[in-house]
Every structure is written in C-alpha cells, then in structure tokens.
Amino acid sequence: MPEIQNAYNSEVWNNLPENFKKELIERLKKLNQENSAKKTLTPAIHSAISTALRNYAIELVRTIVEEEHLGKLIFAGGDDVMAFVNLKDLFDVMEKLRWAFSGQIKCENGSIKVDLSNTSGFVLKDGVYYLTMGKEATCSMGVVIAHYKEPLKIVIEKVFEIKEKAKHIVKEKNKFAILLMKKSGEERIGFAKWSIDNDLTTDILKKLKDWMDRNRKEKRYISDGFIQKFKIEFSKLKQISFSERIINTELKRLVKRAYNGIPREPKNEKEKFIKDFMENAIKILWELGGDIDNFINLLEIASFMNKGD
C-alpha cells in the first residue's frame, strides 16, 4: 500500500491543513502498528487487486505463452501460473511473464514487449487500458528443464521446489531459479535477480547463449568448453580468496582460447566479440554476488539450451 501522502492528488495533499495531515499520519501509524502511514485496505482496493490479477491471467498470460511463443498454458489463476514452454522460447516467456505482472510492458505491432519505462500501472492492449499490479509488484519464478521422458510427477514436484528456492536461496524475493535435470541424473541450479542495473538478466543470458552457439549464422562463437576448464581451475582453489581482477583475467584468457572465428577475419572484430562476451559474463558473475558456482551453473544451462535435446 502507498504512504497516505502518495494516495492523494499532490495538489489536494499540499492544500490540506497541516494539523489535519499530521493527525491523519499519526492515526494511520497506530492503526498499522508500525512506523508508516500507509493507506489502509478497503473493499475498493481489494477489487482493484482482483481486477489487476484477472487482467494478468486472462489478457496477458495466454497471449504470451500460447500465441506469441511455443508453449502450453496449464493454469493461470491470479498470481499463479504454470506452463510448458519450448526450450528455444524459454527466456522470452520468462521475462515477458515477469514484467507483464508488474505492467512494465507495451503492446507494439501486435506483440508484447518488455518496457521497464512503463511505470503507470496500466497496459494498452487492443485499444483498452488494463490495470496491472504496478511497478512495486515482485515475482518469483521456478523453471525446470527436463527430458520429455522424465516422469511428470517428479518434474512438477521439482518446479514447486525450485520456485521456493527462488524465494529463499537468497535473502530477498523477486528472483528466478532454473533447474537443469540431465538424463544422466546430474542437476544444475542457477538463480538470479531479474535485472542488473538497467539490463534484463534474461537478455544477458540470451546473448551469452547465442554467442556460445556453434550453429550461429555469423560462424564465430565461443566454445562452451571454457566453462568446464574454469570450473576445474577454481574448484581446486576454492579455499583461496582471489581478487576480482585475477578471476576476470583468467576468465578472459579461457574465453580467448575458446574463441572460434572465421578465416582471415579482422583482428578488431575478434577483439570486439570477446570484449562483448566478457562484459556480459562479468555482469552475471559480479552483479549476482560473485558466486562462481552459480555463475558456472547459469553458463552451463545457457549452453545446454543450444543443444536442443
């Protein structure tokens, strides 16, 4: 709920008598039993929340999952959503579902796009303004990547388990967690917050995934073999505290060695490709707390998605 002074039109609030405003704030603090004068819940506000959740579930979720991407919606009930999604569309569906929940999207040329600048709480779709939960709304998401022959009961149990980890594996909510279940029985868990500075974390992961794809149209790529080498090196030295500069230097050395270019390409193009890859990889590593294990898992998950199996 907003602070009471933000619930009024600013001109109205400024013109109210000071004694009235002071008394109102004190009364709300007592009523809320905390040191904040937030507006109290009313039937009208409950109705608005119900409307926003209805708009999300009916007007946005199915469009994102089934119409814009290759997926199947199992259910969408207010703030709970479950869906099956094709691997190639996973990151796109994740980010659209998350930012549609807080209304930070725009409908452009018949498709939904993320727009973090939209903080109005409303989304214009098909000529109608739809109320959403607003920019303060948070979202926790659990994702499981599993082989299609994996027992469905186990996969669904893992989905709920990983969703709870997205909430509690780090101190605050508003994050996503991805569990990769390999046919061999190995599991990889990567978690992250939804944005890094003004960049979408899913967008960064999409770029890294693309740059590690051996089948890129541009023919140049970073072989994902560097991930395992980086993992082996630092698993042996976990008890030693390394500076950020040393880790970045070693990561860059391995990335450069993993680079596969095209014949007779200009040196500056190679350097730019490696630079772009490194800048995005470093964001994932250090802006998510410098957890090397988590960083490696996220890279392995992104790389696995290129295999298509």
Q: For the residues 228-234, what does the mean pLDDT come to? A: 90
For residue 241, the model assigns a pLDDT of: 74
pLDDT at 25 over 90: no
pLDDT at 238 over 70: no
For residue 79, the model assigns a pLDDT of: 85
- What are the sequence ranges of the domains in the chain? 1-33, 44-131, 141-307
Phi, psi for residue 274 in degrees, rounded to 5 = -65, -40
pLDDT digits (tens, 9 = 90+) for 293-305: 999 999 999 999 9
Beta bridge partners of 111: 108
pLDDT at 147 over 70: yes
**Cα Rg of the chain, angstroms:** 23
The answer to whether residues 124 and 106 touch, using CB atoms and an 8 Å cutoff, is yes
Q: Which two tokens stand for residue 244?
A: 């950020």
pTM, full prediction: 0.87
How far, in Å, CA of 90 to CA of 84, rounded? Answer: 9
For residue 30, the model assigns a pLDDT of: 82
pLDDT at 93 over 90: yes
Identify the residue with better confidence: 63 or 27. Answer: 63
* Three-state secondary structure of the chain: CCEHHHHCCHHHHHHCCHHHHHHHHHHHHHHHCCCCCECCCCHHHHHHHHHHHHHHHHHHHHHHHHHCCCEEEEEEECCEEEEEECHHHHHHHHHHHHHHHCCCEEEECCEEEECCCCCCCEEEECCEEEECCCCCCCCCEEEEECCCCCCHHHHHHHHHHHHHHHHHCCCCCCEEEEEEECCCCCEEEEEEECEECCEEHHHHHHHHHHHCCCCCCCCCEECCHHHHHHHHHHHCCCCCCCCHHHHHHHHHHHHHHHEECCCCCCHHHHHHHHHHHHHHHHHHHHCCCCCHHHHHHHHHHHHHHHHCC
Pick the range with the lowest mean pLDDT from 102-116, 156-170, 247-261.
156-170
Average pLDDT, the chain: 90
For residue 32, the model assigns a pLDDT of: 75
